[in-house]
Structure 1
């Protein structure tokens, strides 16, 4: 494959830029030099450049069982959650009142009077079948979470490039399953779910509206609305059996509650304007994909 000269130049510019994650600049390793001397007996072949269409995992060390609790400060950042990582017992946070060792949350973010704005990358190898439990809670503040299941992101990007198809029409796989709960007393909750998300959605707002992007709406089934709570399902629910209902759904789940605020849902990497949001950034995943 012949790589255009200007494309190769752009790639080198990209590789030599600083990457800023959680406000900490990280200098990329300098790429190996290639000989361009015309006196060489054999032509030098450059290594095939990395496919920049695949979003790289941020330069943040993966972790597990993260717990942040702040009083009047906001919580912002990028986190990579790997549920397979074993954390030494002395480094684990105290269990919450509704937790046991078996139900310990993989991530819990709480602020009393502040907003939450995070990019969350969940990594997995397809073998981990337990749910990744994530809890986001603010007493008085908005919540924005851009949730990326990296195994979905790889499949979507690779197939969209190979098949020259749009990201929206590319199927993804579901592993590991994600259970996300977001709650605030006063504020808007905006969640960007992974493209491969498939499972029930429970939304509660007493004084606010519920909005979905057009792309996500196409995959959404509406069931009912009772006492300010609405029940939906993203994806195909036809194989949700009686066994699943008695033993518990083993796939993705999403629960959002706000007393005074709107709820907005869309897929990861969609522009915020798709849901009518204003003033919100695209987020890390969208910037990585260049959309």
Structure 2
């Protein structure tokens, strides 16, 4: 698989010394009580040393912000598009350096990140920054992320970066015969449209508490946060105003859809790791008891 990216463009080197945000800000409408309730499982300090999962590994300092990244893995079912990216939708990339796939799309319609696969899975962590410079327009633009696979699963975790403005993004995730797992920051504020022909759609408890549902079942439409002021039309003005909101568009035919807050997933992974360590310690202790029992019987 060949991946052509704009990673070598560094117009925002100053962003590299910043650390990932904890993504714990509730949507604007959330009351203090509700926010505290939704954060109850996540009271411990986040330490990267406690995490052994790929999703929780901080980006290397050598990684650069990128934009208009397109990649496709057609045939290899034994590999996955598993990568981490720092995305800057304001980054201006010289046309001579972008991929052919990106060049075929009008600049105003290009995705910040577009990863697709045939039989392989897609597994991505994207940290979004917005430097506000280097773009071609003064209009603030949300990041556009498209993740898709024909016969594999799709996993996407979206994070912000401390010190950078709260990211706004539109993520589209599709697959025909796989499951879809999406993790969003606590700052997510906007509509979610999710559908599955033969499967189920599940939201985490924390996300569900902040969600108003308008259509349920195998075609779910809902809104996270206060939907007052959300543009109702498809005109140019409304389209531009939608750039100020987050959005999820998720579709699978034969699979399950699960959407979480990112920090909820991390808490579950910590709990899982703690249980695994406890089981391993008990196993070693039992092996030691068995060893000494054999010695004393002799």
TM (normalized to structure 1)? 0.62
Are 1:253 and 2:259 matched, yes or no?
no
Separation (CA, whole Å) in 2 of partners of 1:242 and 1:206 = 27
Name whichever of 127-136 and 53-62 sits farther off.
Answer: 53-62
> Which of 94, 101, 107 is the aligned partner of 2:107?
101
Unaligned runs of 5+ in 2: 1-44, 49-55, 134-138, 274-298
Name whichever of 93-102 and 62-71 sits farther off.
Answer: 93-102
Q: Secondary structure of 1:90's partner?
A: helix
Q: Which residue pairs with 2:143 in the alignment?
A: 132
CA positional deviation for 1:150: 1.8
Q: Residues 65 and 190 from structure 1, CA distance in 2 versus in 1: closer, same or farther, beyond 3 angstroms?
A: same
Q: Deviations over 1:163-195 (max 9, x none)?
A: xxxxxxxxxx7x442010000001110000111
Q: Which residue pairs with 2:5 in the alignment?
A: none
CA positional deviation for 1:111: 0.8
Q: Residues 273 and 261 from structure 1, CA distance in 2 versus in 1: closer, same or farther, beyond 3 angstroms?
A: farther
> Which of 187, 201, 208 is the aligned partner of 1:217?
208
> Which of 188, 191, 194 is the aligned partner of 1:197?
188
CA positional deviation for 1:84: 2.2
Q: Which residue pairs with 1:89 in the alignment?
A: 95
Q: Residues 58 and 237 from structure 1, CA distance in 2 versus in 1: closer, same or farther, beyond 3 angstroms?
A: farther
Indicate if the aligned counterparts of 1:75 and 1:114 stay in contact, CA closer than 8 A: yes
Bigger relative contact order (CA 8 A; separation at least 6): 2
Separation (CA, whole Å) in 2 of partners of 1:197 and 1:264 = 16
Are 1:230 and 2:220 matched, yes or no?
yes
Q: Which residue pairs with 1:23 in the alignment?
A: none
CA positional deviation for 1:53: 7.3
Separation (CA, whole Å) in 2 of partners of 1:242 and 1:134 = 23
> Which of 117, 121, 131 is the aligned partner of 2:127?
121
Indicate if the aligned counterparts of 1:69 and 1:110 stay in contact, CA closer than 8 A: yes
Tell me how large the CA RMSD over aligned residues is: 3.4
Are 1:62 and 2:65 matched, yes or no?
yes
TM (normalized to structure 2)? 0.61
Separation (CA, whole Å) in 1 of partners of 2:64 and 2:131 = 17
CA positional deviation for 1:149: 2.0
Unaligned runs of 5+ in 1: 1-50, 156-172, 280-291
Indicate if the aligned counterparts of 1:201 and 1:231 stay in contact, CA closer than 8 A: yes
> Which of 68, 71, 82 is the aligned partner of 1:76?
82
Q: Which residue pairs with 1:147 in the alignment?
A: 158
Are 1:186 and 2:192 matched, yes or no?
no
Separation (CA, whole Å) in 1 of partners of 2:255 and 2:122 = 14
